[in-house]
Amino acid sequence: MEKSTLAIVVPCFNEEAVLPQTNERLLALLDAMIAARLVGQGSYILYVDDGSHDRTWPIVEGCCGTHVRGLKLAGNVGHQNALMAGLEAARADADVTVSIDADLQDDINAIPEMVKKFDTGCDIVYGVRRSRKADSFFKRTSAQAFYRFMTDMGAKSVYNHADFRLMSRRAVDALCQYDERNLYLRGLVPLLGYQTDTVYYDRSERQMGKSKYTLGKMISFAVDGITSFSVKPLRLIFYLGAVFLLISLAILAYVIVALCQGNGVPGWASLMLSIWFVGGCVLMCLSVLAAYVGRIYTEGKHRPRYHVEKYVK
Q: Which residues of the chain form contacts with ligand UDP (CB under 6 A)? A: 11-13, 15, 50, 76, 78-79, 82, 101-103, 105, 211-213
Q: Say if residues 60 and 51 touch (Cβ distance below 8 Å).
A: no
Q: Say if residues 14 and 79 touch (Cβ distance below 8 Å).
A: no
List the alpha helices (DSSP H) in 37-108: 56-63, 79-90
- The pair phi, psi for residue 254, each rounded to 5°, is -60, -45
Select 48 or 171, whichever has its Cβ closest to ligand UDP: 48
Beta strands in the chain (DSSP E): 6-12, 44-49, 68-73, 96-99, 124-129, 161-168, 196-201, 308-312
**C-alpha distance from residue 279 to each of 144, 248, 249, 309 (Å):** 32, 14, 17, 48
Output the smallest distance, CB 304 to ligand UDP, in A: 17
Q: Which does 212 bind (CB under 5 to 8 A by kind): ligand UDP, Mg ion, none?
A: ligand UDP
Output the smallest distance, CB 62 to ligand UDP, in A: 18
Binding mask 6-45 for Mg ion (x = CB under 5 A): ----------------------------------------
120 CA to centre of own chain: 27
Pair type for strands 124-129 and 68-73: unpaired
Q: Which does 226 bind (CB under 5 to 8 A by kind): ligand UDP, Mg ion, none?
A: none
Closest CA to 44 of 92, 1, 77, 12: 92
| 105 counts as binding Mg ion under rule CB under 5 A | yes
Q: Which stretch binds Mg ion (CB under 5 A): 56-64, 81-89, 100-108, 188-196?
A: 100-108
In angstroms, rounded to a whole number, what is the distance separating the alpha carbons of residues 116 and 6? 12
Q: Which does 124 bind (CB under 5 to 8 A by kind): ligand UDP, Mg ion, none?
A: none
Give the residue nearest to Mg ion (CB).
103
Q: Which does 106 bind (CB under 5 to 8 A by kind): ligand UDP, Mg ion, none?
A: none
In angstroms, rounded to a whole number, what is the distance separating the alpha carbons of residues 70 and 48? 6
Q: Which stretch binds Mg ion (CB under 5 A): 29-37, 58-66, 99-107, 225-233?
A: 99-107
Select 63 or 82, whichever has its Cβ closest to ligand UDP: 82
Select 13 or 57, whichever has its Cβ closest to ligand UDP: 13
Closest CA to 87 of 165, 2, 187: 165
| 4 counts as binding Mg ion under rule CB under 5 A | no
Output the smallest distance, CB 276 to Mg ion, in A: 42
| 103 counts as binding Mg ion under rule CB under 5 A | yes
Select 66 or 211, whichever has its Cβ closest to ligand UDP: 211
Q: Which residues have CB under 8 Å from 216's CB, separation 6+?
A: none
Interface residues toward Mg ion, by CB under 5 A: 101, 103, 105
